[in-house]
Amino acid sequence: MGLEVKGIIPAMVTPLKKDESLDEEGLREVINYLIEGGVHGIFCCGSQGEIYSLTDEERKKVIEITVDEVNGRVPVYAGTGEVSTQKVIQLTKYAKDVGADAVSVITPYFIRPNSEELYDHYKKIAETVDIPVVLYNNPGRTGVNLDAQTVSRLAEIDNIIGIKDSSGDLTLTAEYIRLTPDDFAVIAGRDSLILATLLYGGKAAIAATANVAPHLVVDIYESFVKGDIKRAREAQFKLLPLRLAFSLGTFPVVVKEAMTMIGKPAGPAKSPVGGMSEENREKLRSILKELGLI
């Protein structure tokens, strides 16, 4: 549909104020920090963006602000996933109307649709709203897995243009690539597997760590494109401790605390997620120092 999915697309945090209300000024600052870091797109309202805890109005506001601040510099991907098909369609229509370039739709959560129900869910969304759709598989969060055969069928629909795979299962990622056309974009959703996905034939990464270290994550992709696999691997290994640090706190607070440490607006995570322990903060601070970010 005219959109080339490529490169590093940060799974952007949603900056909040101390009272957990949306920090519009902070959101605009983060967007510019990421673009200055060389990223190839912006993904708002994803898992790292706390999509599950934002009100409908907050989500709409984040999408609207993101489109406005990006102002065409890179493509904007808006997360419009929800439990019900109709609610996804409503949010997707809104994203299209305010100027998003594409939407990303995570599998329904809480319920456990079978493969045929998932196929019908995404088909109806794609046929109802004329905007590029990126599927989003994150079974660790939703309990629902998009199998490769279902993705292969969905890839035949014109405006379903790719899938973000956060399963961490590289065999599944490879199957997505093997069973879909060359112009269907398989996107790394696990930051530790960016280079591996690219080597298999993936097109991009939607990376939460890019909120903190955009230049480093971009270096993985740019080095790969230039054929400098050694440098790409070095950048991937350098990034790995930051991705592994996600275990130091309740998702998604680690990235938000890291951003605060490097002087970027992020604020707290939405309750009931709390902050990190002081011991784990020190571990995270050490990682950021090693990366030269503080």
Active site residues: 136, 164
Give Cα separations from 8 to 35, 39, 42, 44, 188 (angstroms). 11, 5, 9, 13, 9
The whole-angstrom separation of Cα 162 and Cα 177 is 10
Alpha-carbon dihedral angle through residues 134, 140, 141, 144, given to the nearest 10 degrees? 60
DSSP states along 175-209: HHHHHS-TTSEEEE-SGGGHHHHHHHT--EEEESG
CA distances from 213 to 107, 109, 144, 219 (A): 28, 30, 30, 10
* CA distance linking residue 42 with residue 20, whole number of Å: 22
Identify whether the C-beta of residue 70 lies closer than 8 Å to the C-beta of residue 40: no
Pairing of strands 160-165, 185-188: parallel
Please enumerate in sequence order all residues whose Cβ is within 8 A of that of 22, keeping only pairs 6 or more positions apart, or say none. 14, 15, 16, 58, 61, 62
Do 79 and 104 contact (CB within 8 A), yes or no? yes
Sign of CA dihedral 256, 261, 267, 271: positive
Residue 264 neighbours by CB under 8 Å, 6+ apart: 29, 30, 33, 211, 212
